[in-house]
Structure formats: C-alpha cells, structure tokens
Amino acid sequence: MQIDFKNFNIENVQPKTEFERKVLEFLQEWFSGSETVSVQTSGSTGIPKTFEIEKKRMLNSAKMTCDFLGLKEGDSAFLCLPVQYISGKMMLVRAIERKLKIIISEPSSAPEIIKKVEFCAMTPLQVQNSLDKIHLIKNLIIGGAAVSEKLKSEISTTLQFSSSPTRIFETYGMSETLSHIALKQISPIQKEYFTILNDVEISVDERNCLRIFAPKLNPEILQTNDIVELLNEKQFKFLGRFDNVINSGGVKIFAEELECFVKKHVDRDLVFLGKPDETLGEKLVLVIEGSEDGNLKSQISNLKFENRFHIPKEVLFLEKFPRAENGKVLRKEILKIFFDTPSKS
C-alpha cells in the first residue's frame, strides 16, 4: 500500500492486511478531533506503558527531523516499523507534515525494499538484514538500539563502491522526546558526536548525565541516565548508561565503552556486566552471545585493553540474549540468568 499525503483522502485508503489496518486506525485517530494520540513504550527500560501525546508536539518533531535531513514535499518514504510505538507513528507523522509519498510495508526483520526512496527509519537488525538494499535509500536513520561497530563496518563495506548518495544516521532519543532529538552520521562519514536538532538545548548534571530541554516536544526538562561528553552546546558523545556503570573496587567502568572496543575485534553480540562480589563490590564479567568458544576466550584475553581493570575477570556464554521487541538487549534479564539477582535500579 502507498499513501500520497500531498493528495490524501482517508476514504480512499483500503487496507488489505492487518498491518495496513493498524496504519489506517492511527490515521483515523490522527485526523479525528482529539488533540492527542496514544503511544505505547517498548518496555526495553521498564514496564511497557501507554501515554497520550499532543499532536502538535509530534508535528514539531516531524518538522525538526525533515528539516535536518532536507526532505521536501513529494519525496518518498518507506515505513517498515510497528505503528503501535512512537517510531512507526512518527514515520507517518513526518509523511503527513512534509506531504510525502509513503510506502507501507509489513514490519519484519528483513524489510522488502524494492524501489528508491528518499527516507526510511529502521532498527539495527533490519539494517543488518537489508545491507544489499540500503543503497536504495537516500536518508536512512537507525534507532531502537545502538548501532554496533560490526554493523558500521558492514555498512561502510557495502556502500564503499556504490555511487548511491545514501546518508545514514544513528539516532538518539526516547519516547518522551517523540522519537529522537539528535542524529549522528555514520555513513558516508563516520562521526563521533551526535548533533542535536533545532530548538533543542542540552546540558549535564553532576553525574555528567545528559539533560534535555526541548519545549516544542516536551514542556519538562528531561533528565536522562545517559553519561555523555559535551563537545559544544550542539554536540555530544554518548559514553554509557549510568545504570550500566560497573563499580569494581572503586573504579567506575563504562560498559558500553568497553563493548564498543571489543566489538571491533569480536564478531558476536556481547555485554559487560557487574557480578556481585564481596571484595570488589562488582566483578567485571563479559557475556558473549552464542555457544562457548575457547578460541574466542583466548582472543579476548589477548586484546590490548586501555587499562588492566578493563580486562574481564570472567568470560561467559549465553546461547541467545533476551531482547525487547525493538531489539535492545535486556541486561537485567542476563544478570538474573547468571547471578539470580536484579541489576542496580
């Protein structure tokens, strides 16, 4: 199904699948007299919940993204994300705000892109399974989970001999910011810092955790648990979640920073966790997805970590990581599996 919002009449939309029916239900809600729409969180950082969002704020968010990417009326977009979550809803709102032509495709881990489009949003898993198609997308944003070093490398390899003008960005945001408030280019140029959208202000608290003020998106100042490094008033580097900081013998270790380093050398998903320890408080352990591999353990032990306390005290294997629907690894569940204890709150 394709919808052209330049000449849109909801009466002409005839859904043929369950997903197309859900798209139509959202459009009916959007074009109703209500000033808000219902949005469900993914549950990746807590219990899933539903809340109401003002349509005008969603339109503000859509305009900010479309302006950043330079999208214009009549451009084409590709929707392959579930519409019960903010990510899928915002793809439709961007199409409405900028009067785009949007192709509606059943969400799957391997979206079926068959023609060139100016804009698309995907999860890292969808990109992983669509590497042979990403050259068809002019502007691709990736969200829902961090983009791994392995995937960045594969994107670069895939596009290095392509004449496609594809630009790919990693997003930073949350449901409360109506999708994202910052983008970081990872192709054709790979950048270290996220750049915030217009009408967004950032600062940090005493923990160096990001604080966001985006009045056009949310009237409140949003305090995150994301530790960042500010380059300037418009750019920041994500270092890790405060919740995931491992305090081992008084030394604070950023799990995500270590994971980024190891993933440059190891072709598997992995997480660093803090195992409760009477002496150290927390012992640094590495959990790797997949079957146990002695050679991989040796490879890990031979890596040149920046500091000796970054070397994992144990390397464990888990056949399959528990994940939220959007693909995020559920660290708390892995902690429970191995150590029968919840992580820090």
pLDDT digits (tens, 9 = 90+) for 253-296: 999 989 989 988 888 889 999 999 889 999 999 999 999 999 99
For residues 311 and 305, give the distance between their C-alpha atoms in angstroms, rounded to a whole number. 7
pLDDT on residue 345: 45
Q: Is 60 exceeded by the pLDDT of residue 44?
A: no
CA–CA distance, 67 with 233 (Å, rounded to integer): 19
Global model pTM greater than 0.85: no
Q: Hey, what are 145's tokens?
A: 């989970």
> What pLDDT, on the 0 to 100 scale, is given for residue 341?
55
- For residue 100, is pLDDT > 50? yes
Q: Is the predicted pLDDT of residue 94 greater than 50, yes or no? A: yes
| Domain 2-241 bears CATH identifier 3.40.50.12780 | yes
Query: Average per-residue pLDDT in the chain?
Result: 91
Residue pointed to by tokens 């979206």? 111
Amino acid identity at 82: P
pLDDT value of position 27: 95
- DSSP assignment of 103-122 equals EE----SS----S-EEEEEE
| Residue 19, C-beta contacts closer than 8 angstroms, at least 6 positions apart | 83, 104, 106, 107
pLDDT of residue 13: 85
Residues of the chain with CATH 3.30.300.30: 245-339
- The crossing angle, in degrees rounded to 10, of helices 86-98 and 18-30 is 60
pLDDT digits (tens, 9 = 90+) for 8-31: 988 888 899 999 999 999 999 999
Q: pLDDT > 90: what percent of the chain?
A: 71
More confident residue, 47 or 285: 285
Write down the pLDDT at residue 85. Answer: 87
Residue 43 has pLDDT above 80, yes or no: no
Q: State pLDDT tens for residues 194-219.
A: 999 999 999 999 999 999 999 999 99
Q: Does the N-terminal peptide bond of residue 188 adopt cis geometry, omega within 30 degrees of 0?
A: yes
Least confident of 96-105, 178-187, 332-341: 332-341
Does residue 45 surpass a pLDDT of 80? no
- The span from the CA of 43 to the CA of 197, in Å, is 25
pLDDT tens profile 136-162: 999 999 998 888 888 999 999 999 888
CATH class name, domain 245-339:
alpha beta
Cβ-contact 134, 168 below 8 angstroms: yes
pLDDT of residue 149: 84
- Band the pLDDT of 76: cuts 50, 70, 90: very high
pLDDT confidence bin for 343, thresholds 50/70/90: very low
Cα distance between residue 67 and residue 285, in whole Å: 43
Residues 276 and 281: their CA atoms lie apart, in Å, by 6
Q: What CA–CA distance (Å, rounded) separates 168 from 137?
A: 9
Q: What is the mean pLDDT of residues 82-87?
A: 90
Query: In the chain, which segments carry CATH 3.40.50.12780?
Result: 2-241
Contacts by 38-44, CB closer than 8 A, 24 or more apart: 39/85, 39/86, 39/89, 39/175, 40/84, 40/85, 41/85, 41/86, 41/175, 42/85, 42/144, 42/175, 42/324, 42/325, 42/326, 42/328, 43/324, 43/325, 44/324, 44/325, 44/326, 44/328, 44/330
